[in-house]
Structure 1
Amino acid sequence: MARHRVVALGGNRSHLESYAREFAADPRCELVAVADESDVPQYREGLNRLLAAELDVPYLTLSEALALPGVDVVVSCVDIERRSRVARAVLARGTHLYLDKPLAGSVEDARAIADAADAAGVVTQMLTTVHAPWAQEAKAAVRSGRLGRIGAVHSDMLMAKGRPGTVPAATVRREHGSDGTFTHVAAKRELFDMGVYPVALIHWLTGRRVTSVYGVTGNYFFAEHAALGIEDFGALLLTLDDGTVATACCGRIGMPCHPQVGERRVTLVGEEGLATFTGSDPHIEIYNTEPVITTAPVHPNDPMQMWSSTARETQPPAKDRRVSLQREERSDIAAFLDCLDSGERPEVTARDALHHVEVLMAGYESAASGQAVSI
């Protein structure tokens, strides 16, 4: 018998496409509904109802779903701009909460979530890459001390999706900082959406807080980002509270730019050595007479190839020239459920995720001013 009754907030064309299915597939869980606020836009309600139909569960309003008997877990993947309000409504019911990344679109909203979680005394966790085998191997290297004191860290999260090389010639973008808007159909703010991964990883690996941020952003690859006036790439130079220096590169680089989903890696520089850990290794390369994939069908509502639901419609060609050798992987959601069962603290809670938002917002401020920003 399932130990957890789960409500999923959001719908298709969001990460809930995968989150909800993973919760539903775990024998510890029973997915009882897909839900959202009662006044969401019609297009969003339609996408939510579509996911509910695919999962064969009812679609309810948020208040209806939270009133269902025995619901003790909510997975939330609503629009960035609504995350704080929705999370606080869930936490007020004393319900454990699994959160999409990033936590919220402002430091104030993120702090409100962390404070509500602390007051409720429930378990929260935000999606990161910390449970991936390569990240766990990096953490083991830090703990072992074999590299000596770590003085510098570099992390990349570069997503190989979308059709690059479409930015109009001579496009030069000046950062104006975050205006609180992150939800767009065609593209995402990539310092925010991809940058949270290396920022969270650096925070988790070192156990240190960031005190200074220098950031740059730009449009280098995609016309969709340029048309919206948002960045497709960002880089951060971070100073941690013990003097460690960290750097992060993040963004979307285009489908043909990497033989798999993209570059996911971290390099640790210690007094006794240097080591790099990556999601691509170990792997084998396969060469044959098949043409190299340079393009993929473009879905009009998903030109950046963000969602599996639209991929099912366009059927992009598979990338099969690099094959990663399988390593045992503990999924982020399974780790969250393990913490519910054991009573252990998750690796990345809402309180941890608040600091990630502080760093990312400082990155936007720095990119706009050209100056380092202190936290």
Structure 2
Amino acid sequence: MAVKKTFRAGVFSVVKHCYLPRAVAAHPRFELVVVTDDANQPDWVHKRNQLFADEFGIPYVTDVANTIAEYNLDIAAVSPEVERHCDLAVRAADAGLHVIADKPLSTRLSDCDRLVETVQHNKVKFMLWNRNYLPAVIQAKEAIASGAIGELHSIHVDFYFSKDAGPPKGSRKEGDPPIDWLERQMEAHADGSDGGVGTEAMGELQIEGIYPLGYMHLLTGQNVQRVFARTATHFHQANVDNNVDDLATVSLELDGGIVGSLCIGRIGAASHPDIGEIKIHAIGSEGGLVITEARPEVSIYYRDQSPLEFKNERIANENDFLLMEDFARSLDTGSEPILNAKNGRDIAATVFAAVESGKSGQPVKVIY
């Protein structure tokens, strides 16, 4: 039996919570060989990149073009600030590298369109990071595909993260300056809640909307045509000060006559005993199903346990490994990854339409 190729991976910035390059490193088909970024990035970016490079014993090169030219890379693992996702991904794809990028895809639909065009033109593979291989999501897909509930008519996802995002709403005293978005996100790096790191403020719809909308795409196979959203800033002062949502509801009209809805929010650590209320509800012509995304899990309690320790742990969760397995299969066979550039672009377009609807109070068509 022929030995399968080991793909050489470059980490194109790693300033967010670094689960993506760690997942690449953990899979036997991939090898991290270098971290790279542009020399003109601020000191905090270089510091985080260097720390990651040192941990894995690989060089950090502050010249992306030189790295591509000298390190014989196969793929790029892209995880910078959100507004730089597409720029680094496009440069990698233009050089013929396959790309795995962190979510959300971008803060601008034009960047997403440019990425899709570049990926298609250079005939490379692209995967947007997602949670579609969680055990509960796989179970939901199998149940729907088997016809267990008949023809799918509607789908709803609750996606409430019980995480904090700095001081609670109403805590800023008169005369205090508003919370700086980037500074708050840099502080959040310590507990891994810095998914919105960057200079452009983003609400929960933009930061986490990829996950529930990714579930809907996987389970229905349909695009969203129109949305109506209500958004609010209910929990966190940083969101108030930067005029972005931390709570939203969205109604969706999908192709195939399917109706969808989602509720999403960052609802604070004190609001829920688990990671949050994350469930998938599907209704078909012959029945319905409700699946809790976090299960299976175990809860761990012991004497003198720190109140900050997370007590619920997922088990049988191989999402990160299975995503990398999916990407390796894509590179081996030419098949498309579970969430490719076009899928990611269409989900981003849905998110942007929902944000617009939340501001206007009117239904908004998704741009394709």
Instruction: Select the residue among 138, 142, 153 that pairs with 1:136.
Output: 138
Partner of 2:310: 319
Are the equivalent residues in 1 in contact too, given 2:165–2:238 (CA < 8 A)? no
Are the equivalent residues in 1 in contact too, given 2:25–2:31 (CA < 8 A)? yes
After superposing the two structures, state which structure 1 stretch, 94-103 or 332-341, moved more: 332-341
Stretches of 4+ aligned residues off by more than 6 angstroms: 286-292
Partner of 2:31: 30
Superposed CA offset, 1:201-246 (max 9, x none): 1122111111101112211111222222222122211101222111
Query: Hey, what's the Cα distance between the residues in 1 that align with 2:58 and 2:306?
Result: 41
Instruction: Select the residue among 235, 238, 242 that pairs with 1:224.
Output: 238
Is residue 44 of structure 1 aligned with residue 34 of structure 2? Answer: no
Instruction: Select the residue among 4, 9, 12 that pairs with 1:6.
Output: 9
Query: Hey, what's the Cα distance between the residues in 2 that align with 1:290 and 1:257?
Result: 22
Query: Hey, what's the Cα distance between the residues in 2 that align with 1:220 and 1:136?
Result: 32
Letter matched to residue 5 of structure 1: R
Query: Hey, what's the Cα distance between the residues in 2 that align with 1:34 and 1:285?
Result: 37
Residue 283 of structure 1 deviates from its aligned partner by 4.2
Aligned identity (percent) is 27
Superposed CA offset, 1:8-65 (max 9, x none): 11124x03x2222222222222211111122212221222222212222111121122
Superposed CA offset, 1:307-328 (max 9, x none): xxxxxxxxxx3222x4545366
Partner of 2:184: 186
Partner of 1:76: 78
Partner of 2:348: 357
Partner of 1:340: 331
Partner of 2:93: 91
Query: Hey, what's the Cα distance between the residues in 2 that align with 1:358 and 1:40?
Result: 28
CA 22–282 in structure 1, closer or farther in 2 if over 3 Å, else same:
closer
Root-mean-square deviation over aligned CA pairs: 2.5
Are the equivalent residues in 1 in contact too, given 2:157–2:212 (CA < 8 A)? yes
Partner of 2:193: none
Letter matched to residue 7 of structure 1: G
CA 289–80 in structure 1, closer or farther in 2 if over 3 Å, else same:
closer
Are the equivalent residues in 2 in contact too, given 1:259–1:319 (CA < 8 A)? no
Letter matched to residue 32 of structure 2: L
Residue 262 of structure 1 deviates from its aligned partner by 2.6
Is residue 275 of structure 1 aligned with residue 289 of structure 2? Answer: yes
Matches within 5 A, 1:103-114: 103-114=105-116
Query: Hey, what's the Cα distance between the residues in 1 that align with 2:277 and 2:129?
Result: 18
3-state SS of paired residue (1:184) = helix
Are the equivalent residues in 1 in contact too, given 2:209–2:264 (CA < 8 A)? yes
Are the equivalent residues in 1 in contact too, given 2:356–2:364 (CA < 8 A)? yes
Query: Hey, what's the Cα distance between the residues in 1 that align with 2:166 and 2:287?
Result: 36
Letter matched to residue 374 of structure 1: K
Letter matched to residue 355 of structure 2: Y
CA 184–217 in structure 1, closer or farther in 2 if over 3 Å, else same:
farther
Is residue 373 of structure 1 aligned with residue 364 of structure 2? Answer: yes
Partner of 1:298: none
Superposed CA offset, 1:323-361 (max 9, x none): 545366553233212322333221110011110011001
Are the equivalent residues in 1 in contact too, given 2:158–2:264 (CA < 8 A)? yes
Query: Hey, what's the Cα distance between the residues in 1 that align with 2:33 and 2:302?
Result: 47
Stretches of structure 2 lacking an aligned partner (at least 5 in a row): 173-179, 186-195, 197-202
3-state SS of paired residue (1:262) = coil
Residue 100 of structure 1 deviates from its aligned partner by 0.9
3-state SS of paired residue (2:274) = coil
Letter matched to residue 56 of structure 1: G
Query: Hey, what's the Cα distance between the residues in 2 that align with 1:258 and 1:363?
Result: 26
Residue 284 of structure 1 deviates from its aligned partner by 5.2
3-state SS of paired residue (2:353) = helix
Letter matched to residue 329 of structure 2: D
Partner of 2:163: 161
Superposed CA offset, 1:59-98 (max 9, x none): 1121122112421110101222222222211111111100
Query: Hey, what's the Cα distance between the residues in 2 that align with 1:216 and 1:94?
Result: 41
After superposing the two structures, state which structure 1 stretch, 336-345 or 158-167, moved more: 158-167
Partner of 1:214: 228
Stretches of structure 1 lacking an aligned partner (at least 5 in a row): 171-181, 294-316
Are the equivalent residues in 2 in contact too, given 1:195–1:234 (CA < 8 A)? no
After superposing the two structures, state which structure 1 stretch, 226-235 or 271-280, moved more: 226-235
CA 35–288 in structure 1, closer or farther in 2 if over 3 Å, else same:
closer
Superposed CA offset, 1:153-174 (max 9, x none): 011222222168821189xxxx
After superposing the two structures, state which structure 1 stretch, 339-348 or 276-285, moved more: 276-285
After superposing the two structures, state which structure 1 stretch, 237-246 or 160-169, moved more: 160-169
Residue 279 of structure 1 deviates from its aligned partner by 2.4
Matches within 5 A, 1:112-127: 112-127=114-129
Residue 286 of structure 1 deviates from its aligned partner by 6.3
